Chain A
Amino acid sequence: DVKVTQSSRYLVKRTGEKVFLECVQDMDHENMFWYRQDPGLGLRLIYFSYDVKMKEKGDIPEGYSVSREKKERFSLILESASTNQTSMYLCASSFGGYNQPQHFGDGTRLSIL
Chain B
Amino acid sequence: DQQVKQNSPSLSVQEGRISILNCDYTNSMFDYFLWYKKYPAEGPTFLISISSIKDKNEDGRFTVFLNKSAKHLSLHIVPSQPGDSAVYFCAASAMGGSQGNLIFGKGTKLSVKP
- Interfacial residues, chain A to chain B (CB-CB below 8 A): 4, 9, 31, 33, 40-43, 45, 48, 50, 56, 58, 90, 92, 94, 96-107, 109
On whether the beta carbons of A100 and B44 are closer than 8 Å, the reply is no
Give the total of B residues in contact with A, Cβ under 8 Å.
26
Note all chain B residues with C-beta closer than 8 A to A33.
100
Which parts of B33-80 form the interface with A (CB within 8 Å)?
A: 34, 36, 41-46, 49, 51
B101 within 8 A of A: yes
Among B43, B89, B95, B107, find the residue whose CB has the most chain A CB atoms closer than 10 A.
Answer: B43
Task: From the candidates A4, A42, A102, A109, name the one contacting B100 in the complex (CB within 8 A).
Answer: A102
Task: From the candidates A4, A58, A97, name the one contacting B99 in the complex (CB within 8 A).
Answer: A97
- Interfacial residues, chain B to chain A (CB-CB below 8 A): 31-32, 34, 36, 41-46, 49, 51, 89, 93-95, 97-102, 104-107
On whether the beta carbons of B106 and A41 are closer than 8 Å, the reply is yes
On whether the beta carbons of B43 and A105 are closer than 8 Å, the reply is yes
On whether the beta carbons of B46 and A103 are closer than 8 Å, the reply is yes
12 A-B residue pairs with CB within 8 Å = A31-B100, A43-B44, A45-B101, A50-B100, A56-B98, A96-B99, A99-B32, A99-B93, A101-B49, A102-B46, A104-B45, A109-B41
Taking the nearest CB of chain B, how far is it from the CB of A106, in angstroms? 5
Note all chain A residues with C-beta closer than 8 A to B94.
98
Instruction: Give the CA-CA distance A107 to B99 in the complex, in Å.
Output: 22
Taking the nearest CB of chain A, how far is it from the CB of B56, in angstroms? 17
